[in-house]
Structure 1
Amino acid sequence: MLRRLTLRFNSLSKRRNHSTCAHSNNQTLKSSQTTLSVRPPLLVMTHRSPRIAEFLVCHGTRLSSTVASSSVSTATTLRNSPSLDPSTFKTLSFYRFHTLAKEELGPWREQLLDDLKQWHIVGRIYLSTEGINAQLSCPEKYVDALRTYCSTVIKPRLGDTLMDLNLGTEHGQRAFRALHLVADGLDPTSYNLSNQPSHLSPAEWHKKLAEYKAKHGKDPVLIDMRNQYESHIGYFEGATRPDVDTFRGSIKAMNEIVKDVPRNQEVFMYCTGGIRCSKAGAILQSASGFETVHLVEGGVTAYGRWIQGQEEKSLFKGKNFTFDARLGETITDEVFGKCHLCGQPSSQYQNCTHASCNLLMLCCSSCSTQFLNTCGRLKCYDTVHRYRTQTHEHFKPDGPIMIDGVRAYVKEGEKNMRSDIERVVVGKSGVMCEHKYNRRIRAFEVLGEPGQVLEEWAKAGRELPPTTATI
């Protein structure tokens, strides 16, 4: 069981309350969870209200991969601060597998909360007996201060080893919805995390892959350790991309891929930021007996940042899926996906803004605008359209509006990001929609083939919505 301690302070209501951390829309933690809320001074923390800032430190017994969530974190305190421009936030991450005593986690969590609030950082840090995993948005002016803090305070507690801050390739508004620790179901006694794979710099990774076939006369064993929705919009050329939805599924697929590979042959693997490959590579080396497993230090995120400054052609094509409000950052211009509504080329993901649906789907900017960022099904569109219409005259983008007990609000950081219409979320997550509320459900299972949703409008005798925002 993963136990999360959320420190919360609502500067508006000053009320103490209890809540449960939101799950991912694609991958969920099935074990029971407990969220405790207390109220520290000054620091604003939550993941549920769009009017208050967030900083969350979690602790548990396992450290594993991270996944997306449907919730949104915003920072009114930062928005109202004249000294902080919310458009200058940098998305960054770092992690380290290192054995920590369970009794260390609580005190260290409190220290991190106390120390990092001075830099107005939002995001998530996960502590467990296996190590630390951080996904943050930091004001650009404080990135150097955070880097120094990591080197002088965090690094010594992790055996004097910690990757440098892994900056994303695209920045801007505070990007975070939420990131959650996943229980991968793996037996921790079956592998040795200290048997780490080879961590190649992006330059070393690029050189090895580019020259491998010429040197060895065959293609490298290259495994994409991400989920299918991630690899669907971008990947390294020649990679095997398992059709999986969980990290546990990736491990199972990995073992199947390499079952006939000689143990003295090099294996290459990659993921978004490197943490999944650190664990998967350790499993291959310690449990499966492979001599050399390579990963790219900092994952696709670091490679994408590096290749932008190089003359060489990128070996990664398309977009790197990100677990924040952007849902992806462009590495190259190739587009591999199709809009689930109209079938036009698109590599932009969005979640349906009817919170009871929350379906993750590819959607072009035209359909995103036309269908109010919903999945396009009649119930979802009508729900969002109705609330937008009722709230238009007094709609405030900096806070929620209650109508008949239902909250409607703009997801900060997503306004005008992909279309010319504000992204409004309506309803409650976890409430049954027309499809089963399953966070791993795939868009085609609900929407069918591209164009089928539009046919449903015709069958119902409905005209399609206007192609431009009218509300």
Structure 2
Amino acid sequence: MDPNKGRTDLINRWGPEQLRNKLNKETFRRITISFYRYIGIDDPYGFRNELFTQWKQLDCLGRIYVAKEGINAQMNVPEHYWDLFVDNINNNKYLKDIPFKRAIEDDGKSFLKLQIKVRNKIVADGLPDDAFDTSNVGNHLDADQWNRAMDRGAIVVDMRNRYESEIGKFQGALTPQVETFAEELPEVLNLLKGKEEEKVLLYCTGGVRCEKTSAFLKHHGFKDVNQLLGGIIDYKRQVTQKGRENKFRGKNFVFDNRLGERISDEVISHCHQCGASCDTHVNCANVRCNLLFLQCESCGQKYHMTCSDRCAEYVLATNEKKIELEKIHNYRPVKRYL
């Protein structure tokens, strides 16, 4: 049971429009980062409250998950508070020296508010806590090691959801067509059946899903399990700084208001409505639908930023007509993604 229930000092009480207006009026720069750590946290609720109080004072925004198994954070920090934030991190016994991944394309508008939630797990895997030893992880490869392993024919596995890999992936990677990480673990095990002796490379956005997957595969007898150090985000930074070949094609999906950041100039996906080359994710403008899908500019204009004629009719309707349409249609998407 949540001991914070009923407390208003530990939550955000502003509405989306108020938050958006406040963010747009800011005259300073924000730095978007992500980080994670698997570490035993004795009191997740107490830890959550401590972070919320401290980071609210620093005007941080973001979405952070805390669990007994650790922390997974995507957030932004005002540039003028950056040094104080780093000091705050390094003075915390759970977070000291945690590595940050800085966003590749950052407009400072990645998050509207600060949300820190206590979850059963920082990455939901659908498995009992004692199903496998999450600390027995594979090897971490930097960009140079990763590229060499790819050149030598290692098996590359994308540990993200299908709507992520649709817009960007490493050449030749296995891309499980699943919607959640819990679905992905057994699917990857099935895809790799009989390859327990081969070299396996795992990658994801920032590393948190690969960390757990590498331990999962080792538990199931895989001998040479490796993951991309820092995920796609840090891979891009490394190859850019070192002038190395970028083997990632397309765009990297991110779970914030940006919905993506470009890793290479190639566009490998298509508009879900007309089939034109496109890798821009949008949420249907009909808030009762909110379907996540790919839409080109032309279809955005044609359908008024919605996923269908039915939803376009709704967003253009009067309030009276909306009530009538709600009685006729079920606007909730059958699935989260087209």
Same-fold status (TM-score > 0.5): yes
Per the alignment, in what secondary structure is the counterpart of residue 45 of structure 2? helix
CA positional deviation for 1:45: 1.1
**Partner residue in 1 for 2:8:** 39
For 1:252, the aligned partner's letter is: P
**Partner residue in 2 for 1:328:** 260
**Partner residue in 1 for 2:126:** 185
2:135 is equivalent to residue 194 of structure 1: yes
**Partner residue in 1 for 2:315:** 384
* Conservation of the 8 A alpha-carbon contact between 1:95 and 1:133: yes
Q: Mind listing any 5+ residue stretches in structure 1 that lack a counterpart?
A: 7-35, 54-73, 214-218, 388-402, 407-426, 444-471
* Conservation of the 8 A alpha-carbon contact between 1:200 and 1:295: yes
Residues 418-438 of structure 1: per-residue CA shift (max 9 Å, x gap): xxxxxxxxx99xx99546544
Residues 43-96 of structure 1: per-residue CA shift (max 9 Å, x gap): 8715x821444xxxxxxxxxxxxxxxxxxxx472x5555xx43xx322211100
> CA distance change for structure 1 residues 38 and 322 in 2, over 3 Å: closer, same or farther?
same
* Conservation of the 8 A alpha-carbon contact between 2:232 and 2:252: yes
**Partner residue in 2 for 1:414:** none
Alpha-carbon distance between aligned partners in 2 of 1:347 and 1:179, rounded to the nearest angstrom: 30
The root-mean-square deviation of aligned C-alpha atoms, in Å, is: 2.8
2:231 is equivalent to residue 299 of structure 1: yes
**Partner residue in 2 for 1:227:** 161
Alpha-carbon distance between aligned partners in 1 of 2:281 and 2:71, rounded to the nearest angstrom: 28
* Conservation of the 8 A alpha-carbon contact between 2:48 and 2:116: no
Residues 64-463 of structure 1 aligned to structure 2 (within 5 Å): 74=20, 76=22, 78-80=23-25, 84-85=27-28, 88-101=29-42, 104-153=43-92, 156-157=93-94, 162=98, 164-176=99-111, 183-210=124-151, 213=152, 219-263=153-197, 265-285=198-218, 287-375=219-307, 377-386=308-317, 433-434=329-330, 437-438=333-334, 440-443=335-338
CA positional deviation for 1:195: 0.5
Alpha-carbon distance between aligned partners in 1 of 2:84 and 2:146, rounded to the nearest angstrom: 29
Q: Mind listing any 5+ residue stretches in structure 2 that lack a counterpart?
A: none
**Partner residue in 2 for 1:19:** none
> CA distance change for structure 1 residues 147 and 205 in 2, over 3 Å: closer, same or farther?
farther
Q: 2:16 aligns with which of 25, 28, 50?
A: 50
Alpha-carbon distance between aligned partners in 1 of 2:125 and 2:249, rounded to the nearest angstrom: 28
Residues 228-257 of structure 1: per-residue CA shift (max 9 Å, x gap): 111011101121111111111210111112
Residues 100-129 of structure 1: per-residue CA shift (max 9 Å, x gap): 22xx22222221112112221111221111
Alpha-carbon distance between aligned partners in 2 of 1:384 and 1:4, rounded to the nearest angstrom: 37
Alpha-carbon distance between aligned partners in 2 of 1:204 and 1:253, rounded to the nearest angstrom: 26
Alpha-carbon distance between aligned partners in 1 of 2:330 and 2:225, rounded to the nearest angstrom: 45
Alpha-carbon distance between aligned partners in 2 of 1:272 and 1:330, rounded to the nearest angstrom: 13
Alpha-carbon distance between aligned partners in 2 of 1:354 and 1:179, rounded to the nearest angstrom: 27
* Conservation of the 8 A alpha-carbon contact between 1:356 and 1:432: no
> CA distance change for structure 1 residues 435 and 111 in 2, over 3 Å: closer, same or farther?
closer
**Partner residue in 2 for 1:397:** none
Q: TM-score, length-normalised on structure 1?
A: 0.64
**Partner residue in 2 for 1:446:** none
CA positional deviation for 1:145: 3.0
For 1:189, the aligned partner's letter is: D
CA positional deviation for 1:259: 1.8
CA positional deviation for 1:5: 7.6
* Conservation of the 8 A alpha-carbon contact between 2:65 and 2:116: no
> CA distance change for structure 1 residues 441 and 109 in 2, over 3 Å: closer, same or farther?
closer
> CA distance change for structure 1 residues 251 and 79 in 2, over 3 Å: closer, same or farther?
same
Per the alignment, in what secondary structure is the counterpart of residue 354 of structure 1? coil
* Conservation of the 8 A alpha-carbon contact between 1:179 and 1:323: no
> CA distance change for structure 1 residues 270 and 174 in 2, over 3 Å: closer, same or farther?
same
For 1:39, the aligned partner's letter is: T
* Conservation of the 8 A alpha-carbon contact between 2:89 and 2:97: no
Per the alignment, in what secondary structure is the counterpart of residue 16 of structure 2? coil
Alpha-carbon distance between aligned partners in 2 of 1:91 and 1:433, rounded to the nearest angstrom: 39
Residues 157-194 of structure 1: per-residue CA shift (max 9 Å, x gap): 26x563x1111111013213789866431122120011
Q: TM-score, length-normalised on structure 2?
A: 0.87
Identity of aligned residues (%): 33
Alpha-carbon distance between aligned partners in 2 of 1:373 and 1:352, rounded to the nearest angstrom: 6
Pair member with larger Rg? 1
Alpha-carbon distance between aligned partners in 1 of 2:236 and 2:333, rounded to the nearest angstrom: 34
Per the alignment, in what secondary structure is the counterpart of residue 184 of structure 2? helix
* Conservation of the 8 A alpha-carbon contact between 1:318 and 1:334: yes
Residues 11-58 of structure 1: per-residue CA shift (max 9 Å, x gap): xxxxxxxxxxxxxxxxxxxxxxxxx34222xx8715x821444xxxxx
CA positional deviation for 1:202: 3.0
* Conservation of the 8 A alpha-carbon contact between 2:110 and 2:258: yes
Alpha-carbon distance between aligned partners in 1 of 2:32 and 2:54, rounded to the nearest angstrom: 19
Per the alignment, in what secondary structure is the counterpart of residue 212 of structure 2? helix
CA positional deviation for 1:301: 1.4
